[in-house]
Structure 1
Amino acid sequence: MRVGLKPCEWERVRDGLVVVCDPSRSVQLDDPDGQVQRLLTVLSDQPGTLAELRAALAADGVEVSTDDLSGALDALDGLRLLRDLDRPVDRARAGRDFSNLAFFELHATLETSEADLQQRVRDAHVLQLGTGGLGSNVLQNLAGLGVGRLTLVDADEVEPRNLARQFLYRETDLGATKVDRAADWVRAFHSGITVDAVRRWIGSPDDIADLLPGVDLVVSGVDQGERIDNWVNEACLRAGVPWIRGGMIGSQLIYFSVDPGRSACYECRVRAYGDGRGTQASVLEPTAMTAQRLSARIPRLNRANGPSAALVGSLVAFEALRYLTGYEPPYAAGAEVLVDLSAGCRPKREPWPRDPDCATCAMADAHTAATAS
């Protein structure tokens, strides 16, 4: 493997280096004897194999063992500073993937290149429940990322009130089936994506279970029935498929995800904090319990406008990208992420505990054990 440095700049500050590859963040490296700076210079000007790098350093007066150099490269790779020159990525010929590859470059390592991360997206199959306010915005992002296969589920028709926040649809679509119009939009936008449209009302876990074989991730934005999240949770944990939920409550956007067998599930959340319908848990303070009980009495009204639907849709799409590529761990696994639209869109992350007696989590554990055997 020929190893080189990603496009970086660095400067010495006292006994260390400030290194910048991503303009939004810097890395500070201790370098009292200047050897790290020499290594960065060699990686930038004379990239090569481990033996070639060692020889170039020796020619510059730095004698280093193979093990020590390998350890230094591992450390730099852990900081996402290196690239494998034997696997070049030509973004100039990447076409519609140019921006995706540019983003992935910041997170690529010697083991996993930006092209590998993009390929994981192409190989993915996402089941999206709902093509309304959340779903239509998530869908546009998933299509732009190049997700290889999409299965869309919805039972509604396009209504005039949808047009304020669901930009897949036009006035000429009024009265048409949402899921069919959404699938048509994907096909017109990206011919390389396989898309299936399923017009279905979800009334139980069984209405989801038959769609899960071969699916890598579920995104849910439907409000069909009070127990929809319980049903999605049960079906996904039985199948061992991660899922993400997004929406809006009052003036707050909310999203969370469940990673079966790894994070707490939705039933754990209900046991800990209640389900928003008057079911409280003893862990809540009396004031919070009262507020939750009162809020459950207020008629629910969909207050999402275009900017709020686009914002939560983008956040959910990023969580989907984390699951599909592993470029970083899921941020909302077993945790609510709340964005307060009345406080400058300030976000807050609130994890909930995993219940050791949760029967639904036990389904995921059973699936993992069966798959492993």
Structure 2
Amino acid sequence: MSRFERQTILPGFGADAQRKLQDAKVLLIGAGGLGCPILLYLAAMGVGKIGLMDGDEVSLSNLNRQVLYGEKDLGKPKVEAAASYFRSKYSDLEIEEIPEYITVENALEILPDYDLVIDGSDNFPTRYLVNDACVLLGKPLVFGAVYLNEGQVSVFNLEENACNYRDVYPQMPAASEIPNCAETGVLGVLPGIIGNLMALEAIKVLTGFGKPLKNKMLFFNSLSAQTYEVEIFPNPTSKAAVPSSKRAFSQTNYELACEGVEQVDWQFVLENPRPSVTLVDVRDRDELPRLERAGLLEIPLSQLSTAAKKLEDSGEIYLFCQSGMRSQTAALQLKGIFPDKKIYSIRGGIKAFPKQTSNHG
């Protein structure tokens, strides 16, 4: 008896659809609240190869919604913990670990190896980057997102002249418009619902079973359990905003274009110490782990505008938070106060701090 028997006997699905799943190669970007349920069902249903791309590590605040992980996984790379879990469950699944964030440097090298891309990321620069890479490479893209009590799902770039993410959201938001999980919160069950809907859309695209959400976006409200669909249309103006070539794509700074704030990695900050540089932690005082370095200033985001005078003599300012979102908002605030200063947000926040580097300076 095959473990796929209950789906292969389903009228309209059958052995042909199952073979398509087994031959399929899917790239999932993000192994968080959306990525976990997507992985659970794609693996269970028999997708042959899954590439899992995420540069984050498991933290305690993830566990209310990222159901693949437990307390024993804290501090582990998410792709490593997830891959280990599935390798112990399914011997027929090939899972490729890609323990890094997607960037303009690696996107066009990684995406061509896959038939379908699923975007389970949680930030706007990544969504625009993934969308544009898929448009350039002609890859179908399953999209999903959650905010407060609502989620949305769609399938982009499924065929020529199909809609892409920019047809729905043509204007990149400013940093002040970008919500973050630490401030808005989320019920753990909502990403599970939206992630499962994304997995369903992926199965439709891969097998031809059912009708994918092409040129449509599905909205789900968790408070009322209501769903509704909105029809979307290709927009020539929006399509023109996609980089016209791979070279143009590789030269696009999505973080700067989206938020107006330039980001750097910890490696750059730690390997280029200068007296004129000030490192600022904009997290609340009770957020862990704390970083101990000479000259570090701790100024919570809520107090930044009133405490900005502490930074008047700084030549360059590098800000960090827990995951790299609030520090972008902080950088935008400081740029308004100090328009002539060089101000940067550190990508990934304290979660991305290199383990091999001592926390003491």
Classify the TM-score, shorter chain.
0.5 to 0.7
Q: Where do 5+ consecutive residues of structure 2 fail to align?
A: 246-361
In the superposition, the TM-score normalised over structure 2's length comes to 0.62
SS at match of 1:164: coil
| In 1, Cα distance between equivalents of 2:116 and 2:178 | 33
CA displacement at 1:262 relative to structure 2: 4.1
Indicate yes or no: 2:161 matched with 1:254. Answer: no
What does 1:148-167 correspond to in 2, within 5 Å?
Answer: 148-167=48-67
| In 1, Cα distance between equivalents of 2:172 and 2:231 | 15
Match of 1:198 in 2: 98
SS at match of 2:37: helix
Q: 2:115 aligns with which of 189, 210, 216?
A: 216
In the superposition, the TM-score normalised over structure 1's length comes to 0.60
Letter in 1 for 2:190: S
SS at match of 2:233: coil
CA displacement at 1:220 relative to structure 2: 0.9
Indicate yes or no: 2:142 matched with 1:244. Answer: yes
SS at match of 1:197: strand
| In 2, Cα distance between equivalents of 1:261 and 1:297 | 31
What does 1:8-47 correspond to in 2, within 5 Å?
Answer: none
Letter in 2 for 1:348: Y
Letter in 2 for 1:178: K
Match of 1:38 in 2: none
CA displacement at 1:353 relative to structure 2: 1.7
Identical columns (%): 29
Letter in 1 for 2:55: A
Q: 2:78 aligns with which of 178, 191, 207?
A: 178
Indicate yes or no: 2:195 matched with 1:313. Answer: yes
Superimposed CA distance per residue, residues 168-210 of structure 1 (whole angstroms, 9 cap, x where no aligned partner): 1111111111111111112111110111101112233x43221
Match of 1:128 in 2: 28
Structure having the higher Rg = 1
Match of 1:101 in 2: 8
Match of 1:341 in 2: 222
Mapped contact 2:28–2:51 kept (Cα < 8 A):
yes
Task: Give the 3 Å change call, closer, same or farther, for CA 360–320 of structure 1 in structure 2.
Answer: farther
Task: Give the 3 Å change call, closer, same or farther, for CA 297–184 of structure 1 in structure 2.
Answer: closer
| In 1, Cα distance between equivalents of 2:59 and 2:66 | 10
SS at match of 2:53: strand
SS at match of 2:191: helix
Task: Give the 3 Å change call, closer, same or farther, for CA 321–361 of structure 1 in structure 2.
Answer: farther
Task: Give the 3 Å change call, closer, same or farther, for CA 119–161 of structure 1 in structure 2.
Answer: same
Superimposed CA distance per residue, residues 16-36 of structure 1 (whole angstroms, 9 cap, x where no aligned partner): xxxxxxxxxxxxxxxxxxxxx
Indicate yes or no: 2:96 matched with 1:232. Answer: no
Letter in 2 for 1:200: E
Task: Give the 3 Å change call, closer, same or farther, for CA 208–297 of structure 1 in structure 2.
Answer: closer
Superimposed CA distance per residue, residues 44-64 of structure 1 (whole angstroms, 9 cap, x where no aligned partner): xxxxxxxxxxxxxxxxxxxxx
| In 1, Cα distance between equivalents of 2:178 and 2:132 | 26
CA displacement at 1:335 relative to structure 2: 2.5
SS at match of 1:167: coil
CA displacement at 1:363 relative to structure 2: 6.3
| In 1, Cα distance between equivalents of 2:132 and 2:191 | 26
Match of 1:322 in 2: 204
Task: Give the 3 Å change call, closer, same or farther, for CA 325–362 of structure 1 in structure 2.
Answer: farther
CA displacement at 1:347 relative to structure 2: 0.8
Task: Give the 3 Å change call, closer, same or farther, for CA 170–303 of structure 1 in structure 2.
Answer: same
| In 1, Cα distance between equivalents of 2:84 and 2:180 | 35
Match of 1:266 in 2: 165
Mapped contact 1:221–1:245 kept (Cα < 8 A):
yes
| In 2, Cα distance between equivalents of 1:232 and 1:337 | 20
Mapped contact 1:133–1:304 kept (Cα < 8 A):
no
Letter in 1 for 2:167: C
Mapped contact 2:122–2:145 kept (Cα < 8 A):
no
Match of 1:354 in 2: 234
Match of 1:189 in 2: 89
Task: Give the 3 Å change call, closer, same or farther, for CA 136–297 of structure 1 in structure 2.
Answer: closer
Q: Which has the higher helix share?
A: 1
| In 1, Cα distance between equivalents of 2:92 and 2:113 | 18
Indicate yes or no: 2:147 matched with 1:147. Answer: no
| In 2, Cα distance between equivalents of 1:297 and 1:360 | 20
What is the alpha-carbon root mean square deviation over aligned residues? 2.3
